Structure 1
């Protein structure tokens, strides 16, 4: 479904990003994996080595600090040199949990820089080249945390809520230029964020959440990847400014 497409996946070395990169390649795309470390937080063989072992020259790694606008621009230039950017997946994100009364300015800025600034300027850099061809897809990784507020997660809620509304405004502005913009809102997925950053999976408290999920299981990164394939493909050619929720029914809204 993505044959001959060139895609960028930020935060693509592990978690949902790795699954997106691998799935895109299986669907025929070539992918630039952008991250700070080629093996990501999960360690082991890099996603680029794993992909290229089966699909030669279908993946490249570019070291990128997504909070730096010049590095985002260089990332897009790499895709242009490879054949032209078709799909931009702004997936990179962090979770630094602090209670509101103890929140610090430093953590606030880190969360906004990685979770919001990178999406804004990553999309800008992508759109500037896509508009020349009057085609392209931008997918922003949001979260169900951007659709409902939860105590103790104010930083994360505000950044993901910002990404969701940013997606809508970009869809309105860029749609007439031939660029589709949507976001994906994962629920509790089996990633390091939910295992280490804010331990849910594998904890007694976390297991209680399963009773609140109609699917009665945690989500898998591959399921987020499948949603991204849909949005990136022509199957979704009339889908714009949409929040696609992938949460096993947890929110039910």
Structure 2
């Protein structure tokens, strides 16, 4: 862990029944509807769950789900409390972990939940974690929400390394920011361009990229069936899976490609 790194302070705000987490700035780093803590409030967080489309219904909630960057613990709560998966969250800032425990309904560690205070780049490079993860959610932005903290090809290669065969990663990127194409290209270099897809940007400009390790893409009818199943089971909690299907695209080839 980089013990010399100065970590931002955590602040909270509330508006219209929603509690927000900030890191020493006005930018929202996470949110929870206080009366419905298991509902995924932010649109980009909902789209971070698009990995579910690539998972067969019988395996949807099986295996190990890992979140790099805790935010307001929305994905961690969902994987642990709703999907009931074995869930690990990796977060460098102890103040974020404390806020999630006290104000964002993140329970104590148990036999299915582990929260690690650790640098995410170190976690994905630990040999013990190789090919142990079925679902990896990466949301690592600085306190000003300007750029990913970890965004090099070596990091994404390590992310691929922790995925078991058929495993999936989702990454939050700013789709309308000049760095999106470069970040997506690094992901494609690590995973193979045929294993990378993106969703359309949200209104705020977040684009979710999905990457797989040896994932077989089902046909359209199977994808529709999976989307219907997801909406039937989890739609009220913020998972409009049929809408995701309309916005998923293969990653486009580089502009300078021959």
**TM class by smaller structure:** 0.3 to 0.5
TM-score by structure 1 length?
Answer: 0.47
Structure with greater strand share of residues:
2
TM-score by structure 2 length?
Answer: 0.46
